[in-house]
């Protein structure tokens, strides 16, 4: 087949689509109909009538009397794969497809199942983890702030909690760890890292149960945020 190109000014495209077709108070889809070897600009309010093989969209117009609200939203194949990847990163981020279920084992140790995730268009498989003494044991990385307000990563003992255990003593503050109050709850945020290992970010409060259940994700370290 032949590859054809054309370069029209906006006035030609709008004029070609205008006669009786730009409907007032509705969204109008502007498209090119490659009819009998000649590209023709047209408009419709029913997007489903635009065929996939010999027509393609340029954008859409909402007409409000003599005012046209225009958005260029047609088919754009330039660097399509990269642009689509960037869209997935921006909209979906690091997204779970299946598995990756985290549970407690013994007393405050953690397990996770095999998981499938997507980062943009990339499929990432993570392996099961077990941070308990009866497991490999796998590493649990804790995140909290030190006295200088810097993030600290800890894979060993923290207070009375052994390596691999979630603390039941402390919560995070901008200047280091503080004790969870009597008859209060701490909140801890668990993450499966890209390479499968488990991370826990300490919450920032000592709560009654109702408030603990309403706690929001705090500011996160780069290791689990990016």
Average pLDDT, the chain: 90
User: How many domains are contained in the chain?
Assistant: 2
CB distance 89 to 119 below 8 Å: yes
Claim to verify: residue 183 and residue 142 sit in the same structural domain: yes
Claim to verify: residue 138 and residue 203 sit in the same structural domain: yes
pLDDT in tens, 5-30: 777 766 555 555 554 578 889 999 99
Distance CA 163, CA 132 (A): 9
Q: Is residue 46 part of a domain?
A: yes
State both tokens at 136: 């490999």
Distance CA 2, CA 13 (A): 22
Claim to verify: residue 169 and residue 103 sit in the same structural domain: yes
Question: What is the DSSP secondary-structure string of 95-123?
Answer: EEEEE--EEEETTTEEEE--EEEEETTEE
Query: The pTM is what?
Result: 0.76
Claim to verify: residue 183 and residue 100 sit in the same structural domain: yes
Mean pLDDT over 92-100 rounds to 94
Claim to verify: residue 181 and residue 221 sit in the same structural domain: yes
Claim to verify: residue 121 and residue 212 sit in the same structural domain: yes
Domain region containing 151: 94-225
Mean pLDDT over 88-108 rounds to 95
Question: Cis omega (within 30 of 0) on the bond before 137?
Answer: yes
Phi-psi region of 21 (alpha: psi -120 to 50; beta: other; left: phi over 0): alpha
Mean pLDDT over 77-103 rounds to 92
Claim to verify: residue 36 and residue 109 sit in the same structural domain: no
pLDDT in tens, 147-196: 999 999 999 999 999 999 999 999 999 999 999 999 999 999 999 998 89
Q: Is residue 117 part of a domain?
A: yes
Q: Is residue 53 part of a domain?
A: yes
Q: What band does 41 get if pLDDT is binned at 50, 70 and 90? A: confident
Checking if the pLDDT of 225 tops 80, the result is yes
Report the pLDDT value the prediction gives residue 151, as an integer from 0 to 100: 98
Claim to verify: residue 46 and residue 155 sit in the same structural domain: no
Distance CA 220, CA 223 (A): 8
């Amino acid at each position: 087949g032949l590859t054809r190109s054309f370069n029209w000014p906006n006035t030609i495209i709008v004029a070609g689509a205008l006669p009786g077709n730009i409907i007032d108070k509705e969204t109008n889809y502007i498209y090119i109909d490659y009819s009998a070897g000649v590209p023709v600009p047209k408009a419709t309010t029913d997007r489903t009538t635009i065929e996939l093989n010999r027509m393609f969209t340029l954008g859409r117009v909402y007409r409000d009397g003599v005012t046209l609200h225009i958005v260029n939203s047609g088919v754009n194949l330039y660097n399509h794969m990269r642009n689509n990847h960037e869209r997935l990163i921006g909209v979906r981020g690091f997204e779970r497809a299946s598995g990756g279920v985290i549970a407690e084992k013994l007393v405050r140790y953690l397990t996770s199942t095999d998981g499938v995730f997507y980062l943009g268009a990339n499929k990432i498989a993570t392996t099961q983890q077990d941070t308990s003494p009866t497991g490999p044991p796998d590493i649990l990385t804790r995140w909290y702030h030190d006295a200088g307000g810097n993030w600290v990563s800890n894979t060993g003992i923290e207070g009375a909690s052994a390596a691999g255990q979630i603390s039941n003593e402390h919560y995070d503050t901008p200047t280091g760890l503080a004790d969870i109050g009597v008859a209060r709850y701490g909140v801890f945020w668990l993450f499966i890292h890209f390479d499968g290992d488990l991370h826990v970010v300490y919450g920032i409060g000592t709560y009654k149960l109702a408030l603990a259940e309403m706690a929001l994700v705090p500011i996160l370290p780069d290791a689990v945020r990016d």
